[in-house]
Structure 1
């Protein structure tokens, strides 16, 4: 399995992923700093951390749909995946390798970019003093745990668009469905969002894993 994942990494250039991550970090940090500068924008340092985390997750769930489109949906649509299926490699393992790659990249990007954005905000706050009082140690511990849990949920959730994209082998459908998912999770209702409930995020992550398992189970019968 590790060999198949490495094969996917060699076959596809992921240099653009680094550019995307860099741009996302700068954009999210800049947006959060603007909110912090507005007296009515953010109420506390902890709220700033929450907003940054939410923006990072939204960005990379949508980004994962682009990866799914490139690695799976587009290959089915253009029938280039039939070439891979002629190799003496189990189809299920091949698809699993692609899904593991997308899930692992999403998890890693969410964790790393969230840490970078929070670190950047900390440095700016030290200079400009948006919030003179820093969060207590237990708040940082809570946020660290939430970061890992939400990143894991995102890595599963990011696979849900595959279900919609594979219905008609449509790249736009894959990407649009991811946008609708993050819009649903982050739509505000009296200041609360579905995504702010960790249980809901985990549930969506489980649904994504089930979608992946369904895709793997049906790969032998897929219409190429």
Structure 2
């Protein structure tokens, strides 16, 4: 499976995605670092608590990587069906389900790792800028194991939720449909209407993770026998 994942990265020119993720990370980091001083003013802390920096980093990184994962799923999987390159891949003496699963894993591993690195980079920039912007580092606990566990689990959950977009793209045979669905998921999970929001609602996220698991199952179901589109 590891060899297949590496093959997918090579075939889909993973260097391009690394570059795009790096650019996105730098831009988000600059924006969030500039915002951090304002987020930790006395009035803001009193109104929202001392965790506003972490909440803001999570919000923007979640939005960015849900969409980024959707774009990669559209390219790695839905696009392969659209371009009919799946015909060639399924002619290999390898289980079809394993091929499709390796594509999903290639996207998942990359985005979880990239999201964690993006968050670490952003928090690091904030720590470096702390003397100049008056940023509080109370919530940036690099030395606490729970901080790292929460970062990894949160990143894994957000990337996994993006997989709800996959069967939509496959059903409609459209990469654009998968990307649009990823955008819808982003606004549904991270947006708000007035003071109402589903962001950080653990029960809601739990339901979405179940739906994401079902979406992966639907994408893999009967792949060995069903005709290619």
Same fold (TM over 0.5): yes
Query: Separation in 1 of the partners of 2:129 and 2:50?
Result: 12
Q: CA contact under 8 A between 1:156 and 1:206: conserved in structure 2? A: no
- 1:23 maps to what in 2? 23
Superposition pairs of residues 108-147 of structure 1, within 5 angstroms: 108-131=113-136, 134-135=138-139, 143-147=147-151
Q: CA contact under 8 A between 2:53 and 2:139: conserved in structure 1? A: no
Question: What's the offset of the Cα at 1:141?
Answer: 5.6
> Aligned residue pairs: how many?
223
2:64 paired with 1:59: yes
Cα deviation, 1:59-84, whole Å, max 9, x if unaligned, reads: 11111111111111111112111011
Superposition pairs of residues 96-115 of structure 1, within 5 angstroms: 96-115=101-120
* Residue 208 (structure 1) aligned to one of 207, 212, 219: 212
Which stretches in structure 1 are left out of the alignment for 5+ residues? none
* Residue 93 (structure 1) aligned to one of 86, 95, 98: 98
Give the TM-score normalised by the residue count of structure 2.
0.86
Query: Separation in 1 of the partners of 2:85 and 2:139?
Result: 52
Aligned to 2:222, what secondary structure does the other structure show? helix
Cα deviation, 1:31-66, whole Å, max 9, x if unaligned, reads: 223323447895465201211122112111111111
Query: Separation in 1 of the partners of 2:27 and 2:44?
Result: 17
Query: Separation in 2 of the partners of 1:136 and 1:55?
Result: 16
Q: CA contact under 8 A between 1:33 and 1:121: conserved in structure 2? A: yes
Give the TM-score normalised by the residue count of structure 1.
0.88
Q: CA contact under 8 A between 2:123 and 2:140: conserved in structure 1? A: no
Q: CA contact under 8 A between 1:153 and 1:204: conserved in structure 2? A: no
Q: CA contact under 8 A between 2:36 and 2:126: conserved in structure 1? A: no
Q: Alpha carbon RMSD of aligned pairs, Å? A: 2.6
Q: CA contact under 8 A between 1:85 and 1:91: conserved in structure 2? A: yes
